[in-house]
Structure 1
């Protein structure tokens, strides 16, 4: 019958008697006299035993009464090989699990903690989820038994677990969450229960401020590094990530309880106080998104804050999210901006808000998405939010915002959209009780001067500026069609006509030059195609092919000849359309002044 060698099969360097002798020496040696090589040898013997299907023998050895003092001294070195066997799930993992449970009861918590931290920090990328699921219950037992520096240890453990968790790919579709190929969702469930246990323990102790701070830091980091990347939707409330967001962060005793425990409310984190200044902006941005867009715990949020105040505070987070290039961040930023704006009445945002940096940066980020983002659904959403923002500004704020965008956008499409909004605002201002100096009086002339200008004068490429120019001409046509009485009352009609005349005069020059250029390009293209056709026929007659051709005009040389022709003809049609609008504006003006055309 085997004795101490039940802990391990014989190794190439030690026979059965040697193993028994070494184990007996360890039993007889005071703990303070054990050397580092003794611990390493003990671990090696345990690993060798496990490698030979010895999980049951390891368990018997660990539970043997005469080995308990040895386990107190050296048992923590067996944790790593036992966890490795559980993760592999190949050789009696239930015996290994039972061995680990026993070790957590008898080994010193600080030594076990060190061993477990080493395991999670060195985990291989292919077994991250399996390792987290295995070690979290062990961490829970060890942390609850710690007496000294417990808060710091909790912080180390939570940080180490999250370091590994965020390495797992975040599922973005419902099917990916169901499949949970990389185990992230399962890990979230385990981690939620772990933090819940820690939080419940803290709630029983009123003076553990350090532990409260560590839990809060973990929750905020989870918001920033995990939930900010996840796609969370109310119509998928049974998805693991949604439940993680609600249970670990809000409804179950985790973040909400933690916030109560640390004596900090959600409103303090988001809107004011020292916590708001010290915590990561991205964490608070995700918190604002979950609160105001997904409405998690919104019922417990104070109703004393006005919609304008909430928007003003959220603009910081909106700017942060919209400045990102990540789709998940942009989606959350757009949704948070839309929801914050929707609660504000139209024409209520005062011009003073535009002095705030965030009220400048957020619209500029929207403009960047509109002009640079390659994803159509994001551009469509950004346009909706952009218009919503305009609708909420009061008339003076609209006037200032339009001027700012015309000066800074450098994009004909955006500028054309702004000019279209200017026309709508002029029409609104002409209605009874809506009159104002910003769109009917002298102040409007400053705005109109920005609209009715040709930035590069005669050198302006009208084709690239088409959106802005067409909307500007439509605005002009609208202005001259309307009764001039409102303008006469404000004394700006004469100046408006002067600005209009200068603009149309320069525009005619630009159209003439551009038409001449594009006509020449089109004629050159036709001549070039004729030349190529003639050369091809000549080459065919000679029984050979021309190996290369020279394109004389290379303005659009990267396009096929047919596409070049279509672009050039479209440009000429556009110039005709511009010219017809100019003619119509002159015609209406002449009729209003009673001058024959």
Structure 2
């Protein structure tokens, strides 16, 4: 377009009211401005945008320039300083609602490699737009925070402290900028509460938006983040600071932590404004809140000390269950840590059997068992075992008795069953030495427990190698009890002998079949090794071959050396079992 023609168009735009501008006017304006940007005439465009005579034009049609200008800045192309100056000017004079729509759309359209840069760039301009909305900004703030958090959730969460310091994808920078973004609105809520005890609808809406923001932040990214504080560092990590500030915001907007954690399902009509945001106040968010409070002790100084440890544990069981049920390592670690910290607050032997009857309370040990058995990450399996044992130690005698019986009936895993049997032995031993005797692990009640736990689930067909841990602990338990009772004139001796003799009778049958089978397999393996060695020796005298077939089948699966080792270990284990069986029989005969 010739310069005189462009000048005529601009003059016409200056004389035309905004409502009279046509779609083709908008298209022409964007085309001219786009040409300036493409040809690096951004300084000239800035002069036009700032010229006083053009303000009506810019106010009416300037929003459309934001997209290409933001792209220039984010992608660090041509003249980003002047581009940012134009963006800032447009944000100051264009209609706030239009601006917010455009800025949020541009943020959502940012490419995966530019997500963090786009968030940080646009956050400051969105904040300026919101400040222009006055008392009607709560709804728009909610929209903006939702969009910001949605984009931030796309950024990978650092797994280690080193990754957090590198901040390759910009998550930490975005979280820090997000705190700066919300602080003025938090201060506004605090100042309004200080000025007047009467809460206006606008104040309540703003508080609700901030509460939703905090709960979403607890869910993402804080549940995924590694938040263990390092004692040897003077500077806290960005994500730790983010978690601390989120907890501080909850306190600043006067959202009581006990109300969120313990009484949320019981809220009444006075909280209907908050209940409208139920979709964001997820159980996962409150689970992270519990973790930050009870494990990391963030905001613990404002948490009332009136709740009993058992009540806190009971309330936290839902959160622990949610955390442990996920496959994510960070979730499982938080669940285990939260379980440990809440259990440690409880006195030993104080959890009654009534708690086991609660579904959420009993489901957590079952999830622990599943982690111990199935989790592919070793340190999580080990930690789950430690927490499982801590839980057992917190149960009173009756609860232990019931838990042991239930677990042995439902678990069907030799390793876990061996832990239960070892605990029965330890409990019986503790009861005999303690001044306060536990009747649940003595006399008739102990015999009842033994009948349910000291047995071979598949009878004579039990796989002793697979169930080795359970069998060894059963034999150790029987040996200990028989030695303890043989010098006493107790009524349970006969019952103990009956249980032991019944168990040993079936076990001897299993041992006989298992030793025979594994002995035969070992001889067979040695014979195959001898034949293969002979064949290889004969073949080596002839023409070399590229591939050798034994008995028309390719060797696969476990190598012969490993098979030999397993078979040898099995036979040694069976000999050990048999020695314990003989010792038990000797104890019974000595008493007779």
TM-score normalised by L of structure 1: 0.91
* Separation of aligned partners in 2, 1:514 and 1:412: 17
2:176 to 189, 198, 211: 189
Aligned pairs for 1:497-536 (under 5 A) are 497-536=497-536
Partner of 1:473: 475
Partner of 2:112: 125
Aligned pairs for 1:397-476 (under 5 A) are 397-476=399-478
* Separation of aligned partners in 1, 2:450 and 2:123: 66
Kindly provide the CA deviation profile for residues 463-482 of structure 1, in whole angstroms up to 9, marking residues without a partner as x: 00001100110111100111
- 2:138 is the counterpart of 1:151: yes
Deviating more after overlay: 274-283 vs 371-380: 274-283
Partner of 2:272: none
Deviating more after overlay: 409-418 vs 286-295: 409-418
Partner of 1:3: none
Aligned pairs for 1:247-326 (under 5 A) are 247=245, 249-251=246-248, 254-258=249-253, 260=254, 264-274=255-265, 278=278, 279-326=281-328
Partner of 1:241: 239
Quote how far apart the aligned CAs of 1:552 are.
Answer: 9.6
* Separation of aligned partners in 2, 1:318 and 1:496: 40
Deviating more after overlay: 538-547 vs 296-305: 538-547
Quote how far apart the aligned CAs of 1:506 are.
Answer: 0.2
Deviating more after overlay: 492-501 vs 575-584: 492-501
Quote how far apart the aligned CAs of 1:550 are.
Answer: 2.7
* Separation of aligned partners in 1, 2:55 and 2:537: 100
* Separation of aligned partners in 1, 2:224 and 2:26: 43
Aligned pairs for 1:50-199 (under 5 A) are 50-147=37-134, 150-199=137-186
Aligned length: 569
Change (3 A) 1:133 1:552: closer
Deviating more after overlay: 15-24 vs 283-292: 15-24
Kindly provide the CA deviation profile for residues 542-561 of structure 1, in whole angstroms up to 9, marking residues without a partner as x: 4465831039999xx62111
Partner of 1:538: 538
Kindly provide the CA deviation profile for residues 203-228 of structure 1, in whole angstroms up to 9, marking residues without a partner as x: 34432222221221111111112000
* Separation of aligned partners in 1, 2:27 and 2:582: 94
Quote how far apart the aligned CAs of 1:54 are.
Answer: 2.3
Kindly provide the CA deviation profile for residues 487-543 of structure 1, in whole angstroms up to 9, marking residues without a partner as x: 82xx43322221111001000000000011111111111121222222223334444
Aligned pairs for 1:17-36 (under 5 A) are 17-36=4-23
Unaligned runs of 5+ in 1: 1-13
> What secondary structure sits across from 2:464 in the alignment?
coil
TM-score normalised by L of structure 2: 0.92
* Separation of aligned partners in 2, 1:486 and 1:78: 95
Change (3 A) 1:33 1:457: same
> What secondary structure sits across from 1:304 in the alignment?
coil
Quote how far apart the aligned CAs of 1:80 are.
Answer: 1.9
* Separation of aligned partners in 1, 2:349 and 2:554: 52
* Separation of aligned partners in 2, 1:116 and 1:560: 63
Change (3 A) 1:180 1:541: closer
Kindly provide the CA deviation profile for residues 56-113 of structure 1, in whole angstroms up to 9, marking residues without a partner as x: 2222111111011112211222222222222233333222222222222211111111
Quote how far apart the aligned CAs of 1:444 are.
Answer: 2.0
